[in-house]
Amino acid sequence: MVLATHNKGKQREYELLSGNAPIALRGLSEFEEVPLPDEEGRTFEEIATKKARAVSMMLGVPALADDSGLAVEALNGAPGVLSARYAGESADDYQNNHKLLEEMRGRENRKATFYCAIALAKPGGLVLNYAGRCSGIILDEPAGAHGFGYDPIFYYPPLRKTFAQLSPEEKNSVSHRGQAMRKFLNDLERILTWLGDR
């Protein structure tokens, strides 16, 4: 299966999450220029489906895509589907985190939820969807050196650490992406039959 992302951090997480499953995930970096469609959409599921379909049709193989992001209660669900480009189209993780922390300055309600939607498409355009979510709190400043995206400012109360302070294994055991991928893997027997159907 092709993993429809150029995000190296996301690719590493999926490779780790796949474990010993009888599938081989290949990143887009292994192929010549494969453009992803724009990430316009109202929901994570809609955007993930759009990416999976586009890559699957282009390469003629099954494609797995996700769209994930952070929804902050005090910001009416922002950054939401704009999480990756919250501070602008070419913004990096530091800039996105900085903007979010500035907007959260002085706010008492720090509740936030990470969401992940996974879409698996086959070349005919048919898609299967899986989702996961994880709730936590936005800190006043970053902590931790692992992970990517908003991990340094997302505090997970049950483990008393930010996602960036967790080992990859710890994070995957509780994260939104880990939950969605476990649903996918639990359904793998049905998925492989579905992929074999013409």
Beta strands 2-3 and 63-72: pairing type? parallel
pLDDT at 133: 97
Q: Among residues 72, 135, 137, 68, which one has the least CA distance to residue 99?
A: 72
pLDDT at 182: 94
CATH of the domain at 38: 3.90.950.10
Tokens in use for 162? Answer: 């930010």
- Count of domains observed in the chain: 1
What is the rounded distance in angstroms from the CA atom of residue 73 to the CA atom of residue 52?
Answer: 29
Tokens in use for 193? Answer: 């039959």
Per the listing, tokens 């992302």 go with 5
What is the rounded distance in angstroms from the CA atom of residue 130 to the CA atom of residue 78?
Answer: 22
Tokens in use for 60? Answer: 């003629």
What is the rounded distance in angstroms from the CA atom of residue 55 to the CA atom of residue 3?
Answer: 9
pTM exceeds 0.85, yes or no: yes
pLDDT at 132: 97
pLDDT (tens digit, 9 = 90+) per residue, 27-62? 888 887 777 878 788 999 999 999 999 999 999 999
Per the listing, tokens 């995957």 go with 172
pLDDT at 22: 87
Tokens in use for 165? Answer: 């302070």
pLDDT < 50: residue spans in the chain: none
What is the rounded distance in angstroms from the CA atom of residue 77 to the CA atom of residue 72?
Answer: 5
What is the rounded distance in angstroms from the CA atom of residue 67 to the CA atom of residue 55?
Answer: 14
pLDDT at 185: 93
Domain that holds residue 17: 2-196
Catalytic residue ranges: 67
pLDDT at 28: 87
Instruction: Give the sheet arrangement for strand 161-162, strand by strand.
Output: 26-27, 2-3, 63-72, 111-121, 127-138, 154-156, 161-162
Give the torsion through C-alpha atoms of 135, 109, 48, 131, to 10 deg.
30
Q: Cis link prior to 157 (omega < 30° from 0)?
A: no
pLDDT at 176: 96
